[in-house]
């Protein structure tokens, strides 16, 4: 895996996401309740604070939990909720160590179908169905991981030329389109709630 992603909108952070399967998974895990760029810059910040140029699932899984939480809490914090996200990242890394010998790429490397890959992603700690579908779409659209049926398994996130999620962001222009789509979805949900549906 060595591609150029544009999710953090920061060259160093994006380079790490493009070469490190674990960094990409951790960025996706962090992508909730904070701006996307902040979430996807997180893996690079964590690596820097650990004094390394990549993330290692074994190292993070074995890290003392309070010390790891403190590392994420340093200013600027890696997430709005650094303590709970530190716990989630460690749970993800422990799962990867236990099930994939710490190799994040093994989650998708030999998946025979999109459906199987979606199941594997949804089993990861912190990944619900929607997060798993978005990450599957990112793998298919930008990282060349395209087992048979991947678009169908990714649902609407797998549609070509859609601007629904991080899977569709390739630069500032597509980022603006994804943001606009999310605003439309929020407005529609708010209107439906106001209408008493």
- In angstroms, the Cα distances linking 188 to 12, 161, 181, 192 are 36, 22, 11, 6
pLDDT for 2 equals 62
Given a cut of 70, the residues of the chain with pLDDT beneath it are 1-2, 197
pTM over 0.75: yes
Angle at 121 between CA 46 and CA 151, to 5 degrees: 115
Q: What is the spatial distance between Cα 69 and Cα 50, in angstroms, rounded to a whole number?
A: 12
Token pair 């594997």: residue: 120
Q: What is the spatial distance between Cα 28 and Cα 78, in angstroms, rounded to a whole number?
A: 13
Tens digits of per-residue pLDDT, 37-82? 999 999 999 999 999 999 999 999 999 999 999 999 999 999 999 9
């Amino acid at each position: 895996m060595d591609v150029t992603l544009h999710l953090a909108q920061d060259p160093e952070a994006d380079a790490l996401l493009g070469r490190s399967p674990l960094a990409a998974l951790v960025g996706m895990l962090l992508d909730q309740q904070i701006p996307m760029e902040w979430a996807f810059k997180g893996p690079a910040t964590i690596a820097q604070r650990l004094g390394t140029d990549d993330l290692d699932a074994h190292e993070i899984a074995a890290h003392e939990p309070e010390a790891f939480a403190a590392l994420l809490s340093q200013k600027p914090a890696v997430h709005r909720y650094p303590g709970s996200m530190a716990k989630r990242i460690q749970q993800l890394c422990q799962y990867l160590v236990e099930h994939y010998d710490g190799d994040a790429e093994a989650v998708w490397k030999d998946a025979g179908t999109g459906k199987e890959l979606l199941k594997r992603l949804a089993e990861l700690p912190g990944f619900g169905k929607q997060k798993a579908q978005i990450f599957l779409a990112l793998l298919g659209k930008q990282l060349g991981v395209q087992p048979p049926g991947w678009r169908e398994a990714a649902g609407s996130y797998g549609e070509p030329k859609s601007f629904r999620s991080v899977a569709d962001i390739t630069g500032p222009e597509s980022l603006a389109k994804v943001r606009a789509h999310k605003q439309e979805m929020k407005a529609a949900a708010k209107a439906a709630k106001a209408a008493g549906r």
